[in-house]
């Protein structure tokens, strides 16, 4: 990698390793801490150089805005949309109104984490799945393809809430004549319905705030 300085190579290797392990690239502050830089300017100077040389690219994410470019099959990256809704308000367990679905952001993730280009992310807005280690502010990775959940799977389901279509994350159980959607929090009662459209299975979790 002769076209990079030694420090640029170290930073690129760190960004690739961090992205593969966490599912998202490091922030400027995280790179400052890793390389003991006293100012963010030192980081951004190297990032600009890496971008000009084609080793990283900018994304729409402000905090984690630079990701390694796929120049090696070991670092295959996939663009995954974060779906949201126009209104930021949501009831317990409800993440978005399917009629108002929009792409809030796009995350470039390693294929080993993203799994499939057809997957998407949605943001968790409450603590109804906290005992499954899904916290408010997390993003769950959802696979909407060939959905046929087994009992105990965590799913994204469409429910009717007083005439409004809403989307919620719950654990899925199918009984003889009904479907039960169960929270992982004893403070939330189960939802029992005759039929529930399943949007997708939850296949991963991304946590930006530790």
pLDDT in tens, 181-192: 999 999 999 999
CA 26 – CA 99 distance, rounded (Å):
34
Residue 87 has pLDDT above 60, yes or no: no
- Do 96 and 189 lie in a common domain? yes
- Do 186 and 97 lie in a common domain? yes
Contact predicate 87/95, CB 8 Å: no
Band (176; pLDDT cuts 50, 70, 90): confident
Query: If you average pLDDT over every residue of the chain, what do you get?
Result: 80
The DSSP symbol for 52 reads H
Least confident range from 85-89, 97-101, 120-124, 126-130: namely 85-89
% of the chain at pLDDT higher than 70:
84
Q: What is the CATH number of the domain that holds 129?
A: 2.10.109.10
- Beta strand ranges found along 26-65 (DSSP E): 56-58
Let me know if residue 1 belongs to a domain.
no
Please tell me the predicted confidence (pLDDT) of residue 63.
64
- Do 154 and 130 lie in a common domain? yes
- The helix-helix angle for 40-52 and 6-22 (nearest 10°) equals 90
Domain range for 20 is: 6-75
Please tell me the predicted confidence (pLDDT) of residue 90.
32
Please tell me the predicted confidence (pLDDT) of residue 210.
58
* Mean pLDDT calculated for residue range 123-149: 89
- Do 44 and 129 lie in a common domain? no
CA 64 – CA 107 distance, rounded (Å):
9
User: Residue 203: enclosing H or E segment and its boundaries?
Assistant: strand 198-206
* Mean pLDDT calculated for residue range 136-149: 86
- Do 166 and 125 lie in a common domain? yes
CA 3 – CA 102 distance, rounded (Å):
40
More confident residue, 90 or 134: 134
CA 195 – CA 154 distance, rounded (Å):
16
- Do 97 and 136 lie in a common domain? yes
Maximum mean pLDDT: which of 86-90, 136-140, 206-210: 136-140
Please tell me the predicted confidence (pLDDT) of residue 209.
67
Band (154; pLDDT cuts 50, 70, 90): very high
Band (153; pLDDT cuts 50, 70, 90): very high
CA 147 – CA 168 distance, rounded (Å):
16
- Do 138 and 196 lie in a common domain? yes
- Do 60 and 82 lie in a common domain? no
Q: Model confidence over 33-74: pLDDT tens digits?
A: 999 999 889 998 999 888 888 888 877 656 677 877 765 444
Proportion of the chain in helix, strand, coil states, percent, rounded to 5: 25, 35, 40
Let me know if residue 90 belongs to a domain.
yes
Please tell me the predicted confidence (pLDDT) of residue 62.
63
Residues with a known catalytic role: 128, 170
């Amino acid at each position: 990698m002769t076209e990079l300085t030694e420090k640029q190579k170290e930073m690129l290797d760190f960004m690739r390793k961090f992205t593969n392990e966490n599912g998202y690239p490091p922030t400027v502050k995280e790179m400052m801490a890793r390389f003991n830089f006293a100012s963010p300017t030192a980081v951004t100077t190297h990032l600009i150089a890496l971008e000009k040389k084609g080793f990283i690219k900018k994304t729409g994410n402000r905090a984690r805005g630079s990701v390694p470019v796929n120049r090696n099959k070991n670092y295959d990256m996939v663009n995954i949309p974060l779906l949201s809704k126009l209104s930021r308000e949501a009831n317990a367990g409800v993440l978005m109104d399917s009629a108002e679905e929009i792409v809030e952001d796009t995350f470039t993730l390693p294929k080993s984490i993203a799994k499939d280009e057809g997957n998407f992310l949605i943001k968790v807005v409450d603590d109804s799945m906290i005992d499954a280690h899904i916290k408010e502010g997390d993003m769950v990775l959802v696979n909407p393809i060939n959905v046929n959940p087994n009992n105990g799977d965590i799913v994204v389901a469409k429910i009717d809430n007083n005439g409004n279509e809403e989307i919620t994350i719950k654990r899925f159980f199918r009984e003889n004549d009904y479907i039960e959607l169960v929270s992982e929090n004893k403070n939330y009662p189960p939802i029992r319905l005759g039929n529930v459209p399943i949007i997708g299975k939850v296949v991963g979790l991304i946590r930006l705030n530790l």
